[in-house]
Amino acid sequence: MEKIKMTVPIVEMDGDEMTRVIWKMIKDELILPFVDLKTEYYDLGLMERDRTEDEITIESAQATRKYGVAVKCATITPNAQRMEEYKLKKMWKSPNATIRGILDGTIFRAPIMTDCIKPAISRWTKPITIARHAYGDVYRGVELRTGEPGIAQLIFTGESGKTVKQEVAQLQGPAVLQGMHNTEKSIESFAHSCFKYAIDTKQDLWFSTKDTISKIYDGAFKEIFERIYKDYEEEFKSLGLEFFYTLIDDAASRIVRSEGGFIWALKNYDGDVMSDLVSTVYGSLSMMTSVLVSPDGKYEYEAAHGTITRHYYRYLQGETPTANPIASIFAWSGGLRKRGEMDGNEPLVRFGNALEEACLATIREGIMTKDLAQMAEGVTPKVVNTEDFIKTVAEKTASLM
- The closest of 329, 335, 302, 346 to 397, measured between CA atoms, is 329
Percentage of residues in the chain having pLDDT higher than 90: 79
- Assign residue 384 the CATH number of its domain: 3.40.718.10
Shared domain check, 41 and 174: no
Total domain count, the chain: 3
Average pLDDT over residues 354-377: 94
Q: State phi, psi for 153 to the nearest 5 degrees.
A: -130, 150
Whole-model pTM: value is 0.89
Shared domain check, 370 and 313: yes
Instruction: Return the CA Rg of the chain.
Output: 23
In a domain, 71, yes or no: yes
Shared domain check, 235 and 160: no
In a domain, 257, yes or no: yes
Shared domain check, 380 and 324: yes
In a domain, 290, yes or no: no
Give the pLDDT of residue 94: 87
Given 282, 312, 338, which residue is the final one in a domain? Answer: 282
Give the pLDDT of residue 67: 97
Q: Is residue 101 over pLDDT 90?
A: no
Given 233, 256, 282, which residue is the final one in a domain? Answer: 282
Q: Is residue 1 over pLDDT 80?
A: no
Shared domain check, 132 and 90: no
Range name among 87-91, 108-112, 146-150, 384-388 with the lowest pLDDT average = 87-91
Shared domain check, 257 and 124: yes
Give the pLDDT of residue 127: 94
Give the pLDDT of residue 306: 86
Q: Is residue 183 over pLDDT 90?
A: yes
Q: Is residue 136 over pLDDT 90?
A: no
Shared domain check, 34 and 97: yes
In a domain, 321, yes or no: yes
**Residue 93: band (very low, low, confident or very high) from pLDDT cuts 50, 70, 90:** confident
Shared domain check, 124 and 169: no
- The closest of 294, 309, 283, 293 to 74, measured between CA atoms, is 309
Give the pLDDT of residue 13: 97
pLDDT, greater one: 218 or 137: 218
Q: What is the pLDDT of residues 143-152, one digit of tens each?
A: 999 999 999 9
Name 289's bridge partners: 110, 303
Q: Is residue 138 over pLDDT 90?
A: no
30 within 8 A of 392, measured Cβ to Cβ = no
In a domain, 288, yes or no: no
In a domain, 292, yes or no: no
In a domain, 168, yes or no: yes
How many CB atoms neighbour CB 159 within 10 A?
Answer: 5
Shared domain check, 391 and 255: no
Beta strands 106-111 and 128-132 are: antiparallel
User: 86-95: which pairs have CB atoms within 8 A and are 24 or more residues apart?
Assistant: 86/46, 86/47, 86/50, 88/46, 88/50, 89/50, 89/53, 92/46, 92/49, 92/50, 92/54, 93/54, 95/13, 95/44, 95/49, 95/57
Residue 71's identity, in one-letter code, is: V
**Residue 272: band (very low, low, confident or very high) from pLDDT cuts 50, 70, 90:** confident
How many CB atoms neighbour CB 167 within 10 A?
Answer: 9
Q: Is residue 231 over pLDDT 90?
A: yes
Give the pLDDT of residue 123: 93
Shared domain check, 128 and 244: yes
Shared domain check, 235 and 163: no
Shared domain check, 56 and 149: no
Average pLDDT over residues 95-100: 89
Q: Which H, E and C letters describe the chain, residue by residue? A: CCCECCCCCEEEEECCHHHHHHHHHHHHHHHCCCECCCEEEEECCHHHHHHCCCHHHHHHHHHHHHHCEEEECCCCCCCHHHHHHHCCCCCCCCHHHHHHHHHCCEEEEEECCECCECCCCCCCCCCEEEEECCCCEEEEEEEEECCCCEEEEEEEECCCCCEEEEEEEEECCCCEEEEEECCHHHHHHHHHHHHHHHHHHCCEEEEEECCCCCCCHHHHHHHHHHHHHHHHHHHHHHCCCCEEEEEHHHHHHHHHHCCCCEEEEECHHHHHHHHHHHHHHHCCHHHEEEEEECCCCCEEEEECCCCCHHHHHHHHCCCCCCCCCHHHHHHHHHHHHHHHHHHCCHHHHHHHHHHHHHHHHHHHCCEECHHHHCCCCCCCCEECCHHHHHHHHHHHHHHHC
Give the pLDDT of residue 19: 94
Q: What is the pLDDT of residues 276-326, one digit of tens each?
A: 899 889 987 788 999 999 989 899 999 888 888 888 889 889 999 999 999
What is the rounded distance in angstroms from the CA atom of residue 266 to the CA atom of residue 247? 11
Q: Which domain holds residue 82?
A: 1-111+299-401
Dihedral class, residue 33 (left if φ above 0, else alpha if ψ from -120 to 50, else beta):
alpha
